[in-house]
Amino acid sequence: MKFGVIITGGSVHEQIDLARTAEAAGWDGVFTWDGIHVGDSMEVHDPWVLMSAFAMATQRVRIGAIIQPLARRRPWKVAREAVTLDHVSNGRFVLCVGLGAVDDSGWGKVGEPTDRRTRAEKLDETLRILTGLWTGEPFGFSGQHYSFEPMAFRPIPVQRPRIPIWVVGAWPSPRSMGRAIRHDGLLPNVVGEGELSPQTIGRMRDWVAERRSLDGFEIVIEGTTPIDDQRAVMAEARRWADAGATWWIESNWESFDPAVARRRIEAGPPRQ
């Protein structure tokens, strides 16, 4: 199992320093999030600029944003930004995508469609466009939401066969789960009132295994663990790993305190 941390707040320079600290403490990935406007008092930074800064401040860790709602971004712009970040990081970038939460004003208040169906359609088209443009060969597209004549994007990504894509999969929706298994990783979610549990992850893993190889396919869990009880942290990680999870992402979405985050990051991930 690999271990990452999401840095959800703090000034730009605090976040960059936390990314550097996370690598030194042995974490495998450093992640941010993709928001435009979430309340007038909340400080929000651009994820592409921030991830580039993380990449320049580190040498080993995976870099990503959990999650990036592609339906509100131009696919060809994302294709260019992602390839550039892949080169800046020397092949450490992973693209984490989903429909996105519409309580961010970057949807309805600026005229972006908020209904689930349209967001899903645009996400599916964008993923097809990204994988086509990343080949470096002339690629054109004609869809319901996007169309363009063939064009070749260079350079191609550092990573082969492409930049890894982790996709939110809502259990037990076949369409949502199907989107994830066409790519490289699953960010699990549960439809309705059910809770995500190791038992649910086990069922999701089995569903995936019936439809594709699990070789190289990531199942990514996030949550919060104690700072000062490494034994409890290891036990929690083991529960999810035994169910099939391949990544644990340490996160705190409720109240991010850079000082508390630093203590948790410096404590390091749970290692056997």
Please give the structure tokens belonging to residue 22: 């996370």
State residue 270's pLDDT score: 82
CATH T-level assignment (fold) for domain 2-166+224-239+254-267: TIM Barrel (3.20.20)
The model's pLDDT over 143-158, given as tens digits with 9 standing for 90+, comes to 999 999 999 999 999 9
Alpha-carbon 193 to chain mean position? 23
pLDDT at residue 258, as a whole number: 85
What is the chain's mean pLDDT, rounded?
Answer: 95
Q: What is the pLDDT of residues 231-255, one digit of tens each?
A: 888 898 999 999 999 999 999 887 7
Determine the Cα angle at 11 with ends 112 and 74, to 5°. 25
Determine the average pLDDT of the residues in 128-140: 98
Give mean pLDDT, residues 202-206: 98
Q: Where in the chain is the domain with CATH 3.20.20.30?
A: 2-166+224-239+254-267
**DSSP-assigned states of every residue in 33-73:** ---S-SSTT-----HHHHHHHHHHH-SSSEEEES-EEGGGS
User: Can you say how many angstroms the Cα of residue 101 is from the centroid of all Cα atoms in its chain?
Assistant: 14
- Average pLDDT, stretch 19-30? 98
Backbone angles phi, psi at 198, to 5 degrees: -55, -35
193 pLDDT higher than 80: no
Q: What are phi and psi of 268, to 5 degrees?
A: 85, 170
Q: Is residue 256 classed exposed, middle or buried when 0-12, 13-18 and 19+ CB atoms within 10 A define those classes?
A: middle
Phi/psi for 270 (5° steps) reads -75, 115
Q: Are 93 and 163 in contact (CB under 8 A)?
A: yes
Confidence label for 85 from pLDDT (cuts 50, 70 and 90): very high
Question: Is pLDDT of 194 > 90?
Answer: no
pLDDT, tens digit (0-9, with 9 covering 90-100), for 27-57? 999 999 999 999 888 899 999 999 999 999 9
pLDDT at 200 over 60: yes
Across residues 163-187, what is the average pLDDT? 97
Q: How far apart, in whole angstroms, are the C-alpha atoms of residue 191 and residue 170? A: 6
Long-range contacts of 78-82 (CB under 8 A, 24+ apart): 78/126, 78/130, 79/129, 79/130, 79/133, 79/134, 79/153, 80/153, 81/48, 82/130, 82/134, 82/157, 82/163
